[in-house]
Amino acid sequence: MKTLLITGGAGQIGLELGRLDWGPGVHIVAPARAALDIASAADVTAFFARTRFDAVINAAAYTAVDKAEDEAALAFAVNALGPACLADACRAQAIPLIHLSTDYVFAGDKDTPYTEDDPTRPLGVYGASKLAGEWAVRAAAPRHVILRTAWLVSAHRSNFLKTMRRLSRERAAIDVVADQIGSPTSAADVAAAVKAIALAHLADGEAPPGTYHMVNAGAASWRDLAQAIFDLDGSAAVARAITTADYPTRARRPAQSRLATAKIERDFGITPRPWRAAVADIVAELRANETVGAS
Ligand SMILES: NC(=O)c1ccc[n+]([C@@H]2O[C@H](COP(=O)([O-])OP(=O)(O)OC[C@H]3O[C@@H](n4cnc5c(N)ncnc54)[C@H](OP(=O)(O)O)[C@@H]3O)[C@@H](O)[C@H]2O)c1
């Protein structure tokens, strides 16, 4: 039996990891934040002293991009010190660490999708804290996989898809930023990729380490994504294009942060499906939940 620690089990990716069938040979331990604060070296040390893990998936993070501009200490504690603590523990036990990261490590000034080797230059505190986390993992945990993803949507917690569905029930037209282009991605699809990578590393100490990108295929602006959500939801709402300048936010965001996925396809045989198909599944899940709730 292999024992797998999943941090951030109540987050978008964490919940999807918990829904997967890991098979009879894997035992999942997914503590809530109250039971394991990854930013506390003492907590992490005590947790690893109690249980012998075979691999760790770090899906915990501080993800409030705008708030991070005013909470740098907290963002860096969770997104940089946290991964550093986990990386220390993983190195001490010689076990693999699979760590989630973000497209916001990039500046967004490239015309084509970012590859894993492209230079990073985060525009805000959140991206900087996540980049620091990547470096901590690389420096301390030799058996690591850093999986960068982007623009996550799911049926859980609050995210762009759920916000747009709510707004489409309140208004006929919604203004949405059309000059930021990215890779909309299902948290469930990322979780499936994380599972495949984790199982590969549990089965084979020589499975490839390193940095990988995992997003759904294709690109979209936030406006494109909003319109697809409305259409798939059977809503007549219209997503009206506005610019980033029309919708100022506390944190700057990359204008173009598509991620290239050729490396994960080559090394792990993971071929991401188009983002629209993934979004359709989430809209269908939310609609099904509402039907059950109403009956
Ligand atoms: N969301 C996106 O669009 C996006 C895009 C690119 C990359 N990513 C990356 O993908 C990963 C997962 O993101 P997500 O959207 O699933 O995150 P999420 O829904 O915000 O969930 C984050 C989880 O981390 C937990 N957490 C926060 N601080 C913690 C701490 N100090 N110790 C232990 N747990 C802590 C939270 O606990 P509570 O449940 O108590 O809040 C929550 O369960 C992160 O690495 C994120 O940077 C996300």
- Per-residue pLDDT tens over the stretch 5-29: 999 999 999 999 999 999 999 999 9
> Would you say residue 294 has pLDDT above 80?
no
| Residue whose CA is at the smallest distance from ligand 1 atom 2 | 152
Asked if residue 67 has its Cβ within 6 Å of ligand 1, the reply is: no
User: CA 11, CA 157: separation in Å to the nearest integer?
Assistant: 7
What would the mean pLDDT of 29-49 be, rounded to a whole number?
95
Active site residues: 126
How many CB atoms are located within 10 Å of the residue 4 CB?
Answer: 22
Give the dihedral sign, CA 62/68/70/72.
positive
Q: Is 239 in the pocket of ligand 1 (CB under 6 A)?
A: no
Cα–Cα separations (whole angstroms), residue 37 to 7, 33, 85: 9, 5, 10
Q: Provide the token pair at 104.
A: 């916001």
Mean pLDDT of the chain: 97
Residue 195 Cα distances to 79, 259, 279, angstroms: 21, 20, 20
| Ligand 1 center to 33 CA (angstroms) | 10
* Whether residue 102 has pLDDT greater than 90: yes
Give me the DSSP letters along 242-254: E-GGGS--SS---
Residue 295 pLDDT grade (very low, low, confident, very high; cuts 50, 70, 90):
low
Residue 202 near residue 145 (C-beta atoms within 8 A): no
